[in-house]
Amino acid sequence: MSEVFYITTPIYYVNARPHLGHAYTTIAADVAARFARMQGKDTYFLTGTDEHGDKIVKAAAKEDKSPRTYVDAISAEFRKLWPELSITHDQFIRTTDPEHIRVVQYLLQKIYDAGDIYFSEYEGLYCYGCERFYTEKELVDGKCPDHLTEPEKIQEANYFFRMGRYQEWLVDYIHKNQDFIRPERYRNEILAFLREPLEDLCISRPVSRLQWGIPLPFDDRFVTYVWFDALTNYVSALGYPEGDKFTTYWPAAQHIVAKDIIKPHGIYWPTMLKAAGIPVYTHLNVHGYWNIAETKMSKSLGNVVDPLAMKNTYGSDTFRYFLMREMVFGLDASFSEEALVTRINADLANDIGNLFSRVIAMTHKYYGGKVPAPHGTKTASMDFGLKAGALQATETFEEQMPLMAFHKALMAVWAFIGQLNKYIDATAPWELQKNGQQAELDTVMYNLLEGLRIVTGLISPVMPETSVKMQQHLGLEDSQPVRLETLKQWGCLPSGHTLPKAIRLFPRIETKTDADTTPPPPPAPRGLKDAKPAIGIEDVGRMDLRVGHIIRAEAIKKSEKLLKLQVSLGEEIRQVVAGIAQDYSPESLIGLQVTLVANLKPAKLMGVRSEGMILAANGENGLCLASFDRPVQAGSIVK
């Protein structure tokens, strides 16, 4: 029987669209799953969406949708995104799946029957934004640390899980299983939490306050609050309690999460499992945050990067490589397109891309594309430590990947790529050819191609598309999926077959410093009449556009076209001269909401001062003011 591997991502909360942070966790899980398959493990990979709760109801209401329609739409966005990023999950779970709901209720009932869930009156400080109670200690200056608002004191009867009962057991378990939570800093963080007395966990909300949730099986006046609903997905997906998948995969379970949810995963979840008589998972793998200019990328802050846009601009493999290589798993990393481009040019276009095209081109030049046969001991001096280097790269890779130390695994591969590049310089195949050292040349060229075979295998979990492409060019069509074992053996590349011509794997990306200082030519207008050259978002941002309410309008003497308007911006009133007299009578303008360029330098028109400009379209039927489809406060920013 083969070894088993079960990997999960968090289920993402569908109150907003997917961003780079979600993509990172999911790609990391995908890389881990692909590596496990490479090791020949029976692998199961789960991802999905978390769809209940008050924030969903609010987000849906904002878009005038029912929660159901809303969650269907956002969940679909996650589901559609993953194939674009070459994600190979086996299952996509939704917490609104009937099967999941059944398991949540089963689990709650089981723990309730065992006496670990009780009903109690509770008074506490509640933050509506977070949908949770806070203890005094958790507040910062009496305010919610996330929302910076004062929580409200509310009294409520709710159900509680006797989590405190399992504190000692958990501390002991973490001590006995050193790498249960990793990297170590997060294990220490969890142990630090556990130095304080562990309080029981509130697990319900009254239906009067929240309907969009799973009803408690033992009291339908309440719905499940967050954790029993969300965390249970990891077992409900496998058909707990009786499913075959549960029996097969659960003992090997590994979770990947970011540090925002280590408490629920490191404390609530193991104690819930313990209370339910389910063995705990094998590892909790915790990574840090992607930051943008020192701040966590998050949908609440809105400073998010769209992973699909990155993929469309740079390609899926390239994006995956960057994320895996740039972040030290466990620590924070900062994202910028500049850093991405730097890595593409250095690691991909230069290091691996050049190596690949050079070696294939030489094979064509010296052998008409045919893979030569090496000459064994006769040319042993041509080895230059290459075989040892290959084995070392593969062994380090094999050591680091299961620890989720993706950057270290990739560094080992790139060290070998560097060695191959140096090997070309050291052996100088062109000299060997010139000097008629055919046996040496054959061996060197074979070694290079064989080295590339190992490289293509090692990059396959991170860059699956590139790996396949390279393999085709090495005549290795049949080696998918790659097996790790074959990468530890030197000499697997067959000789004698003819390779296709080289291709450019990763085109270099021009950067500002690469190009000369002349500005780029304006892009071709996309068929629009009178199109203007492209501008950056910063150009748009320079305009201070505001909603203005017209409160007075009058004709200007001796002018057929101009009207003098008084436009309210809430805090101030602007006088604006507008050339709309032929399309609007002064009376018809009173009360209209218009778009005003509020930071235009004042000017005089027909001797009348104008302190802004209102926007209008010049259509077939004359001018038409840019207005709003609903009442908006005067002075509101338009962007």
Known binding-site positions for Zn(2+): 127, 130, 144, 147
Site membership for ligand ATP, residue 17 (CB under 6 A): no
Q: Is 130 a catalytic residue?
A: yes
Q: Is 82 in the site for ligand ATP (CB under 6 A)?
A: no
Binding partner of 5, given Zn ion, ligand ATP, none, CB within 5-8 angstroms per partner class: none
Query: Contact with ligand ATP (CB under 6 A): which of 17, 41, 165, 296?
Result: 296
Beta carbons within 8 Å of 588's beta carbon, 6+ residues apart: none
Residue of 5, 6, 7, 25 interacting with ligand ATP (CB under 6 A): 25
Residues 6+ apart with CB under 8 A from 487: 390, 394, 454, 457, 458
CB 234 within 8 A of CB 255: yes
Residue of 6, 7, 22, 348 that binds ligand ATP (CB under 6 A): 22
Alpha-carbon torsion (79, 470, 459, 344), positive or negative: negative
Question: Among this protein's residues, is 365 annotated catalytic?
Answer: no
Which range in 193-201, 292-300, 490-498, 607-615 contacts ligand ATP by CB under 6 A?
A: 292-300
Active site residue 492: no
Position among 5, 6, 7, 24 found at the interface with ligand ATP (CB under 6 A): 24
Active-site choice (52, 55, 89, 127) = 127
- 387 among known catalytic residues: no
Site mask, ligand ATP, residues 238-277, x = CB under 6 A?
A: -------------------xx-xx----------------
Residue of 89, 100, 144, 311 marked active site: 144
Q: Which is nearer to ligand ATP, 212 or 366 (CB)?
A: 212
510 binds, among Zn ion, ligand ATP, none (CB under 5 to 8 A by kind): none
In the bound state with Zn ion, the residue whose beta carbon lies nearer, of 145 and 251, is 145
Nearest residue relative to ligand ATP (C-beta): 21
Please report, to the nearest 10 degrees, the dihedral formed by the alpha carbons of residues 560, 561, 565, 567 taken in order: 170
Handedness of CA 13, 24, 8, 116 (dihedral sign): negative
249 binds, among Zn ion, ligand ATP, none (CB under 5 to 8 A by kind): none
Determine, following the binding rule CB under 6 A, whether residue 336 of this chain makes contact with ligand ATP: no
User: Residue 272: CB partners within 8 Å, gap ≥ 6?
Assistant: 107, 111, 161, 227, 228, 231, 232
> How would you class 406 by CB atoms within 10 Å of its CB: exposed for 0-12, middle for 13-18, buried for 19 or more?
buried
Identify which of residues 145 and 385 has a Cβ nearer to ligand ATP in the complex.
Answer: 145
Q: Which residue in the list 58, 110, 130, 263 is annotated as catalytic?
A: 130
Count Cβ atoms below 10 Å from residue 55 Cβ, excluding itself: 18
Among the listed ranges 142-150, 318-326, 384-392, 395-403, the one in contact with Zn ion (CB under 5 A) is: 142-150
549 annotated active-site: no
> Can you tell me the distance from the alpha carbon of 329 to that of 336, in angstroms, rounded to the nearest whole number?
18
Beta bridge partners of 45: 7
3-state secondary structure of 437: coil
For residues 169 and 177, give the distance between their C-alpha atoms in angstroms, rounded to a whole number.
12
Question: Least distance (Å) from Zn ion to the CB of residue 300?
Answer: 10
Is 334 a binder of ligand ATP (CB under 6 A)?
no
58, 110, 245, 299: the catalytic one is: 299
CB of 147 to Zn ion, least distance (A): 3
Task: Rule CB under 5 A: say whether 393 interacts with Zn ion.
Answer: no
Stretch that binds ligand ATP, among 151-159, 189-197, 244-252, 291-299 (CB under 6 A): 291-299
Residue 439, φ and ψ in degrees, nearest 5: -60, -45
Stretch of residues binding ligand ATP (CB under 6 A), selected from 193-201, 243-251, 293-301, 314-322: 293-301
Residue 369 interacts with Zn ion (CB under 5 A): yes or no: no
Q: Tell me the C-alpha distance between 391 and 454, whole Å.
A: 9
Query: Catalytic annotation on 287?
Result: no
Q: Are residues 307 and 20 in contact, defined by beta-carbon separation less than 8 angstroms?
A: yes
Tokens (6 digits) for 353: 């891309």
Question: How many residues are present in the chain?
Answer: 639
Residue 583 site contact among Zn ion, ligand ATP, none (CB < 5 to 8 Å, cut-off depends on kind): none
29 counts as binding ligand ATP under rule CB under 6 A = no
Q: What distance separates the 2 farthest-apart alpha carbons in the chain?
A: 102
Stretch that binds ligand ATP, among 21-29, 153-161, 192-200, 539-547 (CB under 6 A): 21-29
CA–CA distances in Å: residue 594 to residues 257, 282, 308, 597:
47, 61, 35, 10
From the candidates 19, 287, 473, 549, which is the catalytic residue? Answer: 19
Closest contact distance (angstroms) between CB of 523 and ligand ATP is: 32
Q: Quick one: which of 17, 58, 299, 375 contacts ligand ATP (CB under 6 A)?
A: 299
624 assigned to active site: no
Cα separation, 236 vs 105, whole angstroms: 11
How would you classify the pairing of strands 215-216 and 219-224? antiparallel
d(CA 199, CA 485): 49
Residue 130 binding target from Zn ion, ligand ATP, none, CB below 5 to 8 Å by type: Zn ion
Within 10 A of 146 (CB to CB), how many other CB atoms are there? 13
Catalytic residue among 147, 365, 378, 497: 147
Is residue 296 part of the annotated active site? The answer reads yes
Choose which of 71, 226, 297, 424 interacts with ligand ATP (CB under 6 A).
297
Nearest to 368 by CA among 535, 204, 503, 500: 500
Among 62, 147, 185, 422, binds Zn ion (CB under 5 A): 147
Give CA angle at 273 (267, 275), nearest 5°: 100
Catalytic residue among 65, 296, 364, 407: 296
Which residues from 72-131 bind Zn ion, rule CB under 5 A?
127, 129-130
Contacts of 528 (CB under 8 A, 6+ apart): none
230 forms part of the interface with ligand ATP (CB under 6 A): no
Report the residue number, 144 or 181, with the smaller CB distance to Zn ion. 144
CB of 144 or CB of 349, closer to Zn ion: 144
- Which amino acid does the sequence have at 236? S
Cα distance between residue 58 and residue 42, in whole Å: 41
Q: What phi, psi does 382 have (nearest 5°)?
A: -85, 5
Q: Which of 178, 188, 295, 300 binds ligand ATP (CB under 6 A)?
A: 300
Report DSSP letters for 542-601, one per residue: TS-EEEEEEEEEEE-TT-SS-EEEEEE-SS-EEEEEES-TTT--HHHHTT-EEEEETTSP
Applying CB under 5 A, the span of 19-27, 143-151, 204-212, 323-331 interacting with Zn ion comes to 143-151
Is residue 402 a contact residue for Zn ion (CB under 5 A)? no
Tell me which residues touch ligand ATP (CB under 6 A).
10, 12-13, 21-22, 24-25, 257-258, 260-261, 289-290, 296-300
Tell me which residues touch Zn ion (CB under 5 A).
127, 129-130, 144, 146-147
Residues designated as active site: 19, 22, 127, 130, 144, 147, 296, 299
